[in-house]
Each structure stands twice: as C-alpha cells, then as structure tokens.
Chains A and B, each alone.
Chain A
Amino acid sequence: MIESLNERPMAILKPTMYQYNEIDQKLVDERVAQFRRQTERFLKGELSEDQFRPLRLRNGLYIQIHAPMLRIAGPYGLLNTKQFRMLAHIARKYDRGYCHFTTRQNIQFNWPKLEEVPDILADLATVQMHAIQTSGNCMRNTTSDHLAGVCVDEIEDPRPYCEIIRQWTTLHPEFDYLPRKFKIAVSGSLNDRAATQLHDIGVHIVKNDAGELGFRILVGGGLGRTPVIGQVIKPFLEKKYLLSYLEAILRIYNLYGRRDNKYKARIKILVKETGMAEFSRQVEEEWQHTKDTMILTDERINEIKAHFTPPSYDKDAKSDTSFATNLNTNSAFATWYKHNTADHKIAGYRAVFLSLKAPDVAPGDMTDSQLDVVADLADCYSFGQIRVTHRQNLVFADVKQADLFELWQQLDQLKLATPNIGTVTDMICCPGLDFCSLANAGSIGVAKEINEALDDMDYIHDIGELKINMSGCMNGCAHQSVGHIGILGVDKKGTEWYQLTLGGSSDNEAAIGERLGPAVAKNEVTKAITTILDVYVKQRLEEESFLDMVKRVGIDPFKEQVYANH
C-alpha cells in the first residue's frame, strides 16, 4: 500500500501549492455555516425559490433535471491527493460513486441531495476546498495553464498570480452581483494553454522591452451564444497594478454592463457596444483614481510565491537508463509516451496526462475508486499533486522518467492511459441533455458513438492533433465554437440536431469556427465526423494539421462531402 500524504512529514517540506492560513480557513468555514443557514431557511419556506437561487448558485448548486448539481472549485486546476481522496469520499457518500471534471478545471457532482449539500461543503472545507462562486453572476474560479511551473516555454509561473486573483475575487463585496458571470484566466507561457483569449479577462505574463515582467491584459473574450475573441486593453501592466486594473475593469462592467437581457449581459457585449477605444478610456479613467491606492507589493507577491516552491527534484533523474530500454522494446508504452506525456523543464522529468477519454466512459468522468487510486499514484510518482486540464483530463506534472513505465502500467489497468491526448477522441463534452436542464440535445451518447466509430488507434494517431468540442446547447460549456471541429446540439421541434463548425481554436491564434452548413440529425453526426476526417486524410499536404488544412482550403471541400447525399 502506498503511504498517504497524511502520514508524511509534510511540515518540514516547503509548500509546493497554496496552503490556507487561519484567515482562509475561517472564511471557508463561515461560508459553510452561512450556506447551512440559507438552506434551512429555504427548506422551511422562509426563502422563496427566487431568493434562494442566487445564494445557492454562489455556492455551486444548480437544480438540474434529475437532482441538484454541485460544482466544486479546483483553484487553477491544482489539487493535492488529500483533496482528491475527499472527492472520492463525497462521490461515495453523497453521490453515485463518480464525479465529472469540467472545462474550467472544476469538479461536478450530479446527484447530491439539497439537504446534504451543507455537509458536503463542510467536508470539503476540512481539506481547504469549497464551491464558492463556481456559478452565478459573479467572478468565477480563476483558471490557468495545467503545465504551469513545469513547462519549457514558461516566462514565469502564473500560479502565484492566480492565487492572488483567487483571493481578491473571493467574496468581493462590490462585485458579487454582476450583470453576468465573469471568468478570468492567467497564462505565463509563450503558448497559451489556458484559452485566455476566450475569457472575460485574460492575463498574460509578458516581458517588456526593458526586460521587466508584467502583464498583458485582454478583455471581452468569451464563448457561449456569441463567441468573441478578447482584445488587448493593456499591452503592458506593471505587476503592482494587477488588482487595481482588474478592479477598474470590473467596476466599469458592474456599472454599465447590460442587465436588461441576459444574453447581452457579458462584458464582451459591453465592449462591443461601447467600442474598444471608449471602453478602454473609461477603464483608464477609473483606474487613475485607484491605481496608487491599492498597490500589489513585491512583498505580497513573494509571500504567495513562497507557497509554490518547486518540489525536491532528483538531480540524477536523467541518469536512469531503464526508460530508454522500455521505450525501445515496448511499442504500446512508446505510443503512450509520445501522446500522453509532455516536456518538463527539469531534465529527466515528464508531465504525464491521464486520459479521462477512454472509449466507453463519459468524457471527464471518474469513479470513486479511480480517484482513490490516482491519489495513491500521485503520492507515489508526482509529489502528491494532481492537475485538472481545461480539456477535462488530469496531469501528473512531475514524473521521473524512471517511473514512467511503471506508472503507465498502472494507469493502463485503471483505463486512464488511452493514448489519445490532443487527438480526435480526446473530446471536450458537456453533460448535455442527460443531466443538464439547459441542454437541447444529448452529448455524451454522441461522443460515445464517435469514439466507437474511431476505434483504430493508428488511424487516430495518423490524423494527429484534432480537437473536437461538443456542447448540448448554445451556452457552449464545452467550448464548441473553438473546437477544430465543433458540435453544437440544437432542438428542432423536439428532436435533437447538431450544428457542425470547423476551424475554431483556443490556442495562440484563437479563432471562432465557421459553420459547415445545416444541422445534421443525431444519427448522422458520426458519419459527418468520419467524412470530415476522410476529406482531411485525402487532401492534406505533407505534415499539415487539420487546422492548417482548414485554414488553407476553407470549409467547402468538407461541406461538399458531408452534404453530398442531401
């Protein structure tokens, strides 16, 4: 049995992720107590459904088709194994033995009982977790790069800034009743893995001409019904101004964002209707009043940075030779290594992806026993930490090359080693009509059907990088508009139809996908996808990715084939 994190002498080690102090813990405990009172008042009839709704939403609680759905925050996707075991405990005790990882690095439970939610939150609080502001018209969980701190293209580790923003956004008294939800993402790398251009605010760590590190701030991006790519509002912001500048944007949005129509209430619409130049002027003017009164000091930054010290890496990790031998002698391992691991800044280490996209499970779902074993594995192989990616997979960020073979074997037994990261079967998928009361169409079933049709791993690997994102309604939880192939479920007179888009991207060169043509019936989606893939395979140039080919030829060649028999 693998030794658990609890039993390790952690006190002598420097923290490698943020640890609550007394204030953090007290705040979360008091929030649990507050929500317990609110739930009691609702159950006694002292709060109406309309009054209770914004309160429960701010604690992650939706009312869904079958039962409430509880969304728990995974702060910038970083969890420790103690927290992971708590998720397993909650899945067992309060749910039906599984949970779902979301595109915002959060965790959802689909079957909790309303009256038990305060108990769930109390259990979470014991491991420094909560569900604060995971839904509702407020500032949501700050998301980031799942390879933060270990990737080779990093300018600076974004996690300390994520934590600073997390604290600033949590229970912010002025901005808890915004016109609409508000999402912030932070990236510290050259390659954007946090889809920052598609957030209400995107924060990029950049270096200016003088060699100083600061932030490039983007505003007005977002998905949903009207997908928009964010624009740069501040090319270079000194670090000390991070919070004052965010506050200025939020104040302008809170005051002037539309509240008459929820579909026009996101900041992207305000920016569009006001015009970027005028919006930017308003923010600048507001900021001038406050910029020197709320300085983010170096002392404060360093205090938070101290929580993110690198783990104690083995200096001799690279000297291992077993890894090379296994790579040369075991082709299945080599395939997995190629697709499911990423470069690490420390020689002899890799970041390992755990695929939550095995052919026969709903994308992003994990059972309680998988959660427990993954926690054991993370303790054993990756310094007791697990990251959630925005494509609904997990990452062990710090695995020694000598351990890769053994880890792969164990993940394979758990069905978490499907070598499909970044490929066509690594689909992002929302819960869809099976669980969500907003959805117009099912998504899990369609994902499964596509997955079954694409059962040839060699073919999948030949296709290479291809991101399919599928949402069951226009709210776009699965970011379909930025999928290389996007699938959007729509309701046509009570039947489920699916609109396809091609050419979207959430990476550096973010783009909104172009609609292929009329929606296709549910039983034709898989055929349409395989047809699109066939067109690509036949017409691509050497080494040309799917996205590059769509850019080169446009959608017509795909359109002709998909609608050939219509």
Chain B
Amino acid sequence: MQIIKDNQLSNDAWEYKPDDADLGNGDVIISLSRLQQKGKALFNRTGKLGARIVPSDPVDGIVAYLPDLALVELYFPELADGRLFSHAWLLRNRYNYTGEIRATGHFLPDQVFYLSRVGVNSFYPENTAHLTSTLAGLKDFSVSYQPSAN
C-alpha cells in the first residue's frame, strides 16, 4: 500500500492486527492494551512492532515501550477529536520519541499541516483517494507562529 512518509509518497507494509488476530512475522501494529497486557514478550519476533493510540488512550501508558517501538500510530475515529494532536506533541517533546508517528483513520488533508507541526511524520488516510491532497496539505502554509515539534 501507499502512504505519505517524510513528505513523499512511499510504499509500506505495516499492518494493524486486531487484538484477536495472530501477529505473523511482518511489521505489525497492535493496540495499546494488547501491548500493555503482553508486554516485552511481543518483541521477540522477526518483524517490527508498532502500537496504536486512540484519542482516549492515556499517552503515558506507552512510554515504557517507546524504545522498542518502531512506530506509533495515532488512529482518528473522527476528524474533530483533537486529543491526538497533544499525544503527538507529548511523544516528541516530553517523551523524546524519535521513531515514526503515523496518523491514520478519518483525518482530513486539511489537518495534516498541523499534524506535521506536532510531530506526525507519516500519514495513511482512511480514504486513500486523499493521498495526493494529503501530500499537498503538508504545504498549506509556509509560515507559522509556533515552533515545530518535528
């Protein structure tokens, strides 16, 4: 599948695994609760591991695992829930996470400039027809009053 990563279109093989699905050997994203239940045992695989945060997740619950996570996914169930913007900011600025932060779900291309400013560096919109406009949206503004987290 194609996503936007670091300001360009790129191919990607990450896959979100629901809590009852087998993880397999690829690069997989799991829920925060599954990560917290299974703990470090999950990292004994060949594939890379990422974790999904939804707006209601307390972001500090992921902190202990951050050094081992190659990706943190921020899943938007709806476009208007702004908690994920703070989650991203905290991951980058408070918890110094340097891996990939990916926005997925129902955000709009019109929000990706903001998301990029709070630390999100890859985007996989629910509506893949939005990929091109997502890329364009990163350039909606060339100036800003606030410092960037990226």
Instruction: Decide: B114 and A259 in contact? CB cutoff 8 A.
Output: no
Give the docked Cα–Cα distance between A395 and B144 (Å). Answer: 32
| A254 to B145 alpha-carbon distance, docked (Å) | 19
Interface residues of A in 165-203 (CB under 8 A from B): 167-168, 170-179
**A254's contact among B86, B108, B117, B140, by CB below 8 Å, is which?**
B86
CB closest chain-A residue, reference B56: A259
From 23 to 73 in chain B, residues with beta carbon under 8 angstroms from any chain A beta carbon are 55
Chain B interface size, as a band, is 20 to 34
Q: Complex Cα distance A516/B55, Å?
A: 43
Is A255 part of the contact surface with B, judged by Cβ < 8 Å? yes
Asked whether A254 and B146 contact (CB < 8 A) given A30-B140, A173-B117, the answer is no
Q: Is B110 an interface residue (CB 8 A)?
A: yes
Provide the residues of chain A in CB contact with B55, threshold 8 Å.
259
Cross-chain contact A259 with B81 (CB below 8 angstroms) = yes
- B79, A168: Cβ atoms under 8 Å? no
The answer to whether B143 and A255 have CB atoms under 8 Å apart is no
| Contact (A54, B89) CB under 8 Å given A26-B142, A26-B143, A173-B113 | no
- The interface residues of chain A lying within 8 Å CB-to-CB of B114 are 171, 173-174, 176
Interchain CB contact under 8 A, B80 and A177: yes
Q: Most chain-A Cβ atoms within 10 A of its Cβ — which of B110, B115, B144? A: B110
Tell me how far the C-beta of A284 lies from the nearest C-beta in chain B, rounded to whole angstroms.
Answer: 16
Flag if A30 contacts B82 (CB, 8 Å).
no
Contact B83 A167 (CB under 8 A): no
Per-residue CB contact flags for chain B residues 74-114 toward chain A (1 = under 8 Å, else 0) read 00000111110110010000100000000000001011011
Please indicate the chain B residues that have their CB under 8 angstroms from the CB of A289 in the complex.
94
- Among A55, A172, A174, the most chain B Cβ lie within 10 Å of the Cβ of A174
Residue of A55, A167, A251 touching B108 (CB-CB under 8 A)? A55
B82 and A34 within 8 A (CB): no
- Inter-chain CA distance A170–B145, complex, in Å, is 7
List residues of chain A with CB within 8 A of the CB of B117: 173-174
Query: Does A137 sit at the interface, judged by CB under 8 A?
Result: yes
A278 to B: closest C-beta gap in Å: 16
Instruction: Give chain A residues whose Cβ lies under 8 Å from the Cβ of B83.
Output: 254-255, 259
On whether the beta carbons of B141 and A254 are closer than 8 Å, the reply is no
Known A173-B117, A174-B86, A177-B85; contact A137-B80, beta-carbon cutoff 8 A: yes
Majority secondary structure, B binding face? loop
Q: Which of chain B's residues 112-150 have a Cβ closer than 8 Å to chain A?
A: 113-115, 117-118, 140-148
Q: Is A168 in contact with B145, judged by CB distance below 8 angstroms?
A: yes
Chain A residues bordering chain B, tally (CB within 8 A): 30
Alpha-carbon separation in the docked complex, A38 to B137 (Å) = 11
* Chain A 40-60: CB-based contact to B (< 8 A → 1; otherwise 0): 000000010001001100000
CA of A61 to CA of B82, assembled, Å: 20
Nearest-neighbour CB distance to chain A for B25, whole angstroms, equals 36
Q: Which residues of the partner chain A approach B148 to less than 8 Å between Cβ atoms?
A: 173
* CB of A135, distance to nearest CB on chain B (Å): 14
Whether the Cβ atoms of B140 and A34 lie closer than 8 Å is yes
* CB nearest to B89 among chain A residues: A174
The interface residues of chain A lying within 8 Å CB-to-CB of B145 are 27, 167-168, 170-172
Tell me the residues in window 249-294 of chain A with beta carbons closer than 8 Å to chain B beta carbons: 251, 254-255, 259, 289, 294
The answer to whether residues A251 and B143 also contact, given A137-B80, A173-B114, A174-B118 and a CB cut-off of 8 A, is no
Contact A34 B143 (CB under 8 A): no
Known A137-B80, A177-B85; contact A30-B141, beta-carbon cutoff 8 A:
yes
When distances are taken between beta carbons in the complex, the residues of chain A under 8 Å from B108 are 47, 51, 55
| CB-CB nearest in chain B for A27 | B143
A30 interface neighbour in B89, B115, B143, Cβ under 8 Å = B143
- Chain B residues whose C-beta falls within 8 Å of the C-beta of A31 in the assembled complex: 141
* Interface residue A210 (Cβ < 8 Å from any Cβ of B): no
CA distance A47 to B106 in the complex (A): 12
Q: Are B79 and A27 closer than 8 Å at their CB atoms? A: no
User: Could you tell me the distance between the alpha carbons of A31 and B114 in the complex, rounded to whole angstroms?
Assistant: 13
Chain B neighbourhood of A255, CB < 8 A: 83, 86
Question: What are the nearest 8 A-B pairs in CB distance?
Answer: A177-B82, A173-B117, A173-B114, A167-B145, A174-B85, A23-B143, A26-B143, A254-B86
Q: A177-B79, A259-B81 are in contact. List 7 more A-B contacts (CB 8 A).
A: A23-B143, A30-B142, A34-B140, A47-B108, A175-B85, A176-B114, A254-B83
Which A residues have a C-beta under 8 Å from some C-beta of B?
Answer: 23, 26-27, 30-31, 34, 38, 47, 51, 54-55, 137, 167-168, 170-179, 251, 254-255, 259, 289, 294
Residues of B near any A CB (own CB < 8 A)? 55, 79-83, 85-86, 89, 94, 108, 110-111, 113-115, 117-118, 140-148
Task: Show 19 residue pairs from A and B whose CB-CB distance is below 8 angstroms, ordered by the A residue.
Answer: A30-B141, A30-B143, A34-B110, A34-B141, A51-B79, A51-B108, A167-B145, A168-B146, A171-B146, A173-B115, A174-B85, A174-B89, A174-B114, A174-B118, A175-B82, A175-B85, A176-B85, A176-B111, A178-B82
